[in-house]
Chains A and B, each alone.
Chain A
């Protein structure tokens, strides 16, 4: 919130000290964004929401005691929350009109209570707490947040250490800090989007001018300027380099120019024109944004007025410059095109071969470079533009230019360092900003032959995506509420110092950005040494931009890098947030591509990771849209089931197992069920159902029971003879497997044929035996469900009676969750069709228990209870 509030919000200037938020459209949408963030905060991030604020947020509220309901002590007009801190102080206190709040959970609750006044409440709160983040996290954390462009990783360890006594507390704080930062960025980028709708930021003109001038910085006597660089290498997708909140003010980028004959100039390029600023350099200080000169229409005009040398020379040169530059560009494109078509234009034979190779490698570079997936998230309008081709072209130009400028014969990829040095000697403009970096990056890639993006680009993607991805994250979770119910996996924190781990991981991820194949694999091994199931480690990898790199690695040709990357991804993707991020980055697409790899280990890992990621609707859909279901089904074909396998077959079985795991995750989506069926998955699942291994059977039966909601599958389960295997596995001593089997029978036994088959294969007794596992409610619900459906056939009821099922069922009428009760009562209704059973129910005290259940509110349950009671009532003795 920090940046958003202090910079983007439009405050009235007021002498009284506490400013008001002007009622502008910007402020209004800003408030709405913040509201959305705060309101959903406690449901999305319960752990962070519970963190105590360093200082309470206090403001005068319009809420009164009567607005507060459960969870609060209301005495007269004063209100205190039941929720208290360690010292017994309530987290929310109201003494109208003053309210004081000390945690996010209370804050969001309060906003919920305020109902239609919540926007107003939030506004007052922000107006009276001009620096909320400082109050929430304490001043030093907030100071860090304010530092422009700062991210958790740049916070020095000492700084953090001094803040907190306990490591876990600080860990939560870091997470909270990251959350706030992300929200901050997200809100800002939305804001910029909104503003740019009104006033177009057009950095292209500036960019062209800068490029033009850069050309003239190097050449000896003729040079116009000593140097010229951007203050930031990071370019937003809209082409701007200034921080988002400055973009909101119409500023696009900052330049540092050293003219030949006067002092260094610090320049701001904004929509209004260019002007000198108070010395904005790379350091993230806040001063220096202010305008210190007139506004000029373009850079050349400004430079002319400042540097006589420049003015003298530009007249002779500028046209001469422009001409060759434009033709040059065209040539580059052609040159590269030629190379791509395999027509190297070099004369010497040796070079020819190398160029060829280079062109080939460059293609891979371009492939990964061109289709960067994160760009579209900042602006929806831009999303539809054919970015890929333009991006690719730009890259080609740059790549080609490098070659031309350095004038080097393209050396063999083996001789890396020499080429680099030589190139740098000839090109002593190391600092000239992003473009140069890109060039160098391209060179590195070509040299190492590993198409990982250049450092410059990567870091930019990192920032871009963290803003974009979170945007998606927040908006989507709120729209798919049913997904939120899926349990977020939390892992116990390890005992090692979370902070030092955080820094180590950050460091390793940074190495990844500039590592060749060998180093990449080693660094990946290094990352695997961490406890990747620990949430702090997972977040550290994400924060450092590691996800992008890991996913990019999946698109390379390096099998070992891919395997290493997946070994990490499969673990960290147990984290809900990481799953979202992976999907947003198009990671599933890259994983699906690896499903038909040559290497079995790679296939298995890719499938396993997909299984972990496909935990929500959009992810499952993405798998299908990328043809993943077909590929996964193909993995299931693994030859005979047998206990003793040779190493090779064992690998096939492992591939199949991971494939089923992925299908299982995907099968929670109806269209995917259909896709699995169409891809011929059912017979393959049927075959795997005969496997002797429980770790295979669980996902297989899991998938089957998930899909048994569809008529097609229920029929197929019977025709493929799977009931027999399902019944067989009911007797295995594995709760999860038994649960899925019972569940599958539950779903299929609506069908008469199934009920007969269950009886035929002696499945009724195992079902009754499962009733003894009353501790496992899921299992109990599945077993009672299967019994209920099977008891629709009277022949089955007779057999159930042999095992005293009825008595056990009546015993389950108390203290069970609704899912179990619905099934138990349903079964009783069926059992009671036989007159003798009505008496049994009475004798076991079932009537009273059934009648008690009439007070329940679960509709399904009520239907079954009334039905059961109705049938029992036909026995006169029961009416007494």
Chain B
């Protein structure tokens, strides 16, 4: 790595670290990780699109052990400007929530559940997300009954105040604060503690040793 690049990364880290939970060194590590993942020549100066959807899913799977296809659309939560790519800043901000996020920040995983991005989680969206979560019995009369019941539980918890069959971010927020288990109600979209630990260890430790 050239001295030039190192300098640029340092400078970048300086600015970005102010916005996130990570300190400068850690941010630097995350920046490096980003470029490694991008698989491109480390050239922070060069304009780059960032991580595309496919690669992002791969990362979620391999690094955080997240497997649910639908939920791997955490992409939408990361890709804040919705340009189809995750830029360096989006990457670090997203990871910051992943690794150190407060409950309020994590509640933003709501965006993952809002499949059509209309700011509401509708009953149909819930159904869609939950439809494979119960192993079906071959004898079942109405195979959807269980899933419908799950949606009912969720609706009851999420307090659909207007009874319009959809849940707003405020309602979601309120319900999660009452019962934290509702945070990932419709599928795992945040990494668990052990994979976070592994990731931090790998990215932060390794690079410090360098």
Residues of A within 8 A of B (CB): 412-417, 430, 444, 448-449, 455, 507-508, 511, 514-519, 521-526, 528-529, 557, 559-560, 563-564, 567, 598-599, 601
Give the shortest distance, in Å, between B146 (CB) and chain A (any CB).
5
Give the shortest distance, in Å, between B175 (CB) and chain A (any CB).
10
Within 8 Å of chain A (Cβ to Cβ): is B117?
A: no
Using Cβ atoms and an 8 Å threshold, which residues of chain B touch A560? 181, 184
Known interface pairs A511-B146, A511-B149, A526-B153; A519-B130 also in contact (CB < 8 Å) = yes
Verify A521–B185 contact, CB threshold 8 A: yes
Known interface pairs A514-B137, A515-B133, A517-B188; A522-B154 also in contact (CB < 8 Å) = yes
Choice from B132, B146, B186 contacting A417 with Cβ under 8 Å: B132
Known interface pairs A518-B186, A518-B187, A560-B184; A413-B67 also in contact (CB < 8 Å) = yes
Which residue on chain A has the smallest CB distance to residue B68?
A414
Offer 25 A-B interface pairs, CB within 8 angstroms, sorted by A. Answer: A414-B61, A430-B138, A444-B135, A455-B137, A511-B149, A514-B146, A515-B134, A516-B133, A516-B135, A518-B129, A518-B186, A518-B187, A519-B130, A522-B154, A524-B181, A525-B179, A525-B181, A526-B149, A526-B150, A559-B192, A560-B184, A563-B180, A564-B181, A599-B193, A601-B180
How distant is the Cα of A743 from the Cα of B136 in the complex, in angstroms? 58
Q: Name the interface residues of B139-156: CB closer than 8 Å to any CB of A.
A: 146, 149-150, 153-154, 156
Query: What 14 new A-B contacts, CB under 8 Å, besides A511-B149, A525-B154?
Result: A414-B61, A430-B138, A455-B135, A508-B149, A517-B188, A518-B184, A519-B134, A519-B146, A521-B185, A522-B133, A525-B157, A525-B179, A559-B192, A567-B181
How distant is the Cα of A448 from the Cα of B188 in the complex, in angstroms? 12
Most buried by B among A413, A518, A523, A564: A518
Those 9 A-B pairs whose CB atoms lie nearest each other, nearest first: A519-B133, A526-B153, A514-B135, A444-B135, A516-B133, A414-B67, A518-B133, A518-B187, A522-B150
Using Cβ atoms and an 8 Å threshold, which residues of chain A touch B188? 517-518
Verify A522–B130 contact, CB threshold 8 A: yes
Most buried by A among B135, B156, B186: B135
Give the shortest distance, in Å, between B200 (CB) and chain A (any CB).
13
How distant is the Cα of A559 from the Cα of B132 in the complex, in angstroms? 21
Verify A529–B156 contact, CB threshold 8 A: yes
Most buried by B among A529, A560, A564: A560
How distant is the Cα of A519 from the Cα of B130 in the complex, in angstroms? 7
A-facing mask of B41-72, CB < 8 A → 1, else 0?
00000000000000000000100000111000
Using Cβ atoms and an 8 Å threshold, which residues of chain A touch B153? 522-523, 525-526, 529
Verify B193–A521 contact, CB threshold 8 A: no
Choice from A448, A557, A567 contacting B135 with Cβ under 8 Å: A448
Give the shortest distance, in Å, between A421 (CB) and chain B (any CB).
11
Within 8 Å of chain A (Cβ to Cβ): is B77?
A: no
Give the shortest distance, in Å, between B118 (CB) and chain A (any CB).
22
Which residue on chain B has the smallest CB distance to residue A510?
B146
Give the shortest distance, in Å, between B32 (CB) and chain A (any CB).
25
Residues of B within 8 A of A (CB): 61, 67-69, 129-130, 132-138, 146, 149-150, 153-154, 156-157, 179-182, 184-188, 192-194
How distant is the Cα of A528 from the Cα of B156 in the complex, in angstroms? 12
Using Cβ atoms and an 8 Å threshold, which residues of chain A touch B154? 522, 525
Choice from A518, A528, A601 contacting B130 with Cβ under 8 Å: A518
How distant is the Cα of A515 from the Cα of B186 in the complex, in angstroms? 13
How distant is the Cα of A557 from the Cα of B193 in the complex, in angstroms? 11
How distant is the Cα of A765 from the Cα of B108 in the complex, in angstroms? 58
Using Cβ atoms and an 8 Å threshold, which residues of chain A touch B193? 559, 598-599
Verify B67–A511 contact, CB threshold 8 A: no
Choice from A416, A455, A511 contacting B132 with Cβ under 8 Å: A416
Using Cβ atoms and an 8 Å threshold, which residues of chain A touch B150? 511, 519, 522-523, 526
Which residue on chain A has the smallest CB distance to residue B133?
A519
Verify A514–B134 contact, CB threshold 8 A: yes
Which residue on chain A has the smallest CB distance to residue B157?
A525
Most buried by A among B69, B137, B146, B193: B146
Verify A525–B182 contact, CB threshold 8 A: yes
Give the shortest distance, in Å, between A697 (CB) and chain B (any CB).
28
How distant is the Cα of A594 from the Cα of B74 in the complex, in angstroms? 30
Using Cβ atoms and an 8 Å threshold, which residues of chain B touch A511? 134, 146, 149-150
Using Cβ atoms and an 8 Å threshold, which residues of chain A touch B146? 511, 514, 519
Using Cβ atoms and an 8 Å threshold, which residues of chain A touch B135? 444, 448, 455, 514-516
How distant is the Cα of A519 from the Cα of B134 in the complex, in angstroms? 7
Using Cβ atoms and an 8 Å threshold, which residues of chain B touch A567? 181
Verify A521–B157 contact, CB threshold 8 A: no
Give the shortest distance, in Å, between B124 (CB) and chain A (any CB).
17
How distant is the Cα of A529 from the Cα of B135 in the complex, in angstroms? 23
How distant is the Cα of A455 from the Cα of B134 in the complex, in angstroms? 12
Choice from A412, A430, A455, A521 contacting B67 with Cβ under 8 Å: A412
How distant is the Cα of A508 from the Cα of B134 in the complex, in angstroms? 12
How distant is the Cα of A412 from the Cα of B65 in the complex, in angstroms? 12
Using Cβ atoms and an 8 Å threshold, which residues of chain B touch A413? 67
Verify A507–B138 contact, CB threshold 8 A: no
How distant is the Cα of A525 from the Cα of B178 in the complex, in angstroms? 11
Choice from B67, B68, B185, B194 contacting A522 with Cβ under 8 Å: B185
How distant is the Cα of A415 from the Cα of B67 in the complex, in angstroms? 9
Using Cβ atoms and an 8 Å threshold, which residues of chain B touch A417? 132
How distant is the Cα of A713 from the Cα of B94 in the complex, in angstroms? 53
Which residue on chain A has the smallest CB distance to residue B145?
A507
Give the shortest distance, in Å, between B30 (CB) and chain A (any CB).
22
Verify A521–B184 contact, CB threshold 8 A: yes
How distant is the Cα of A181 from the Cα of B187 in the complex, in angstroms? 40
Most buried by A among B129, B149, B187: B149
How distant is the Cα of A416 from the Cα of B55 in the complex, in angstroms? 21
Known interface pairs A518-B185, A518-B186; A528-B134 also in contact (CB < 8 Å) = no
Which residue on chain B has the smallest CB distance to residue A353?
B62
Which residue on chain A has the smallest CB distance to residue B62?
A353
How distant is the Cα of A567 from the Cα of B180 in the complex, in angstroms? 12
How distant is the Cα of A601 from the Cα of B179 in the complex, in angstroms? 12
Give the shortest distance, in Å, between B144 (CB) and chain A (any CB).
13
Which residue on chain A has the smallest CB distance to residue B151?
A522
Known interface pairs A449-B67, A455-B135, A518-B188; A507-B149 also in contact (CB < 8 Å) = yes
How distant is the Cα of A417 from the Cα of B149 in the complex, in angstroms? 20
Give the shortest distance, in Å, between A556 (CB) and chain B (any CB).
12
Which residue on chain B has the smallest CB distance to residue A560?
B181
How distant is the Cα of A455 from the Cα of B194 in the complex, in angstroms? 29
Verify A563–B149 contact, CB threshold 8 A: no
Give the shortest distance, in Å, between A362 (CB) and chain B (any CB).
16
Which residue on chain B has the smallest CB distance to residue A528?
B179
Which residue on chain B has the smallest CB distance to residue A564?
B181
Using Cβ atoms and an 8 Å threshold, which residues of chain B touch A526? 149-150, 153, 156
Choice from A448, A515, A521, A529 contacting B181 with Cβ under 8 Å: A521
Using Cβ atoms and an 8 Å threshold, which residues of chain A touch B184? 518, 521, 560
How distant is the Cα of A559 from the Cα of B193 in the complex, in angstroms? 9
Which residue on chain A has the smallest CB distance to residue B61?
A414
Using Cβ atoms and an 8 Å threshold, which residues of chain A touch B132? 416-417, 516
Using Cβ atoms and an 8 Å threshold, which residues of chain B touch A416? 132
Using Cβ atoms and an 8 Å threshold, which residues of chain A touch B180? 563, 601
How distant is the Cα of A430 from the Cα of B180 in the complex, in angstroms? 40
How distant is the Cα of A444 from the Cα of B135 in the complex, in angstroms? 7
Which residue on chain B has the smallest CB distance to residue A567?
B181
Using Cβ atoms and an 8 Å threshold, which residues of chain A touch B179? 525, 528
How distant is the Cα of A122 from the Cα of B126 in the complex, in angstroms? 59
